[in-house]
Amino acid sequence: MAQRFEDKSVLILGGSSGIGRATAAAFVDEGASVTVTGRDPEKLQAVHDEFGVLAIRSELGNLDETRQAVERAAEASGRLDVLFVNAGAASLGRLAKITPEAWDECYAANVRGCIFAMQYALPFLVEGSSIVVSGSVAAYETQPTVLAYSTAKAALQTAARLIAADLAPRNIRVNTVVIGPTKTELYTRGADPARIALQEKAFADEVPIGRMGDAPEVARAVLFLASDEASFVTGSELLVDGGHLRLSSTRKQS
Segment among 13-17, 27-31, 51-55, 195-199 with least mean pLDDT: 195-199
Q: Which of 26, 58, 28 is nearest to 41 (CA)?
A: 58
* Predicted pLDDT at 89: 78
* Predicted pLDDT at 246: 83
- Of 107, 120, 149, 187, which residue is the catalytic one? 149
Render pLDDT for 43-76 as a digit per residue (tens, 0 to 9): 999 999 999 999 999 999 999 999 999 999 999 9
Q: Which residues of 2-25 are buried (b: 16+ CB within 10 A; e: fewer)?
A: eebbeebbbbbbbbbbbbbbbbbb
Render pLDDT for 78-118 as a digit per residue (tens, 0 to 9): 999 999 999 777 778 888 899 999 999 999 999 999 999 99
| Identity of the amino acid at 222 | V
Query: In this model, does residue 217 exceed pLDDT 60?
Result: yes
Q: CA-CA distances (angstroms) from residue 84 to 35, 162, 193?
A: 10, 17, 31
* Predicted pLDDT at 37: 97
How many Cβ atoms are within 10 Å of 91's Cβ, its own excluded?
21
How many Cβ atoms are within 10 Å of 52's Cβ, its own excluded?
11
Distance, in Å, from the CA atom of 25 to the CA atom of 29, rounded to the nearest integer, reads 6
Strands (DSSP E) along the chain, which ranges?
A: 9-13, 33-38, 54-57, 80-85, 125-136, 173-179, 182-183, 213-214, 237-240
Query: In this model, does residue 200 exceed pLDDT 90?
Result: no
Cβ(23)–Cβ(15) below 8 Å:
yes
Q: What is the CATH number of domain 9-185+214-240?
A: 3.40.50.720
Instruction: Give mean pLDDT, residues 178-183.
Output: 90
Residue 187 annotated among the catalytic residues of the structure = no
Query: In this model, does residue 254 exceed pLDDT 50?
Result: no
Distance, in Å, from the CA atom of 170 to the CA atom of 211, rounded to the nearest integer, reads 40
Q: CA-CA distances (angstroms) from residue 56 to 42, 60, 81, 181?
A: 11, 12, 18, 28
Q: Would you kindly state where each structural domain of the chain is located, as residue ranges?
A: 9-185+214-240
Higher pLDDT, 162 or 180: 162
* Predicted pLDDT at 187: 58
Render pLDDT for 126-171 as a digit per residue (tens, 0 to 9): 999 999 999 999 899 888 888 999 999 999 999 999 999 999 999 9
Q: Which pTM does this prediction carry?
A: 0.91
Distance, in Å, from the CA atom of 251 to the CA atom of 247, rounded to the nearest integer, reads 6
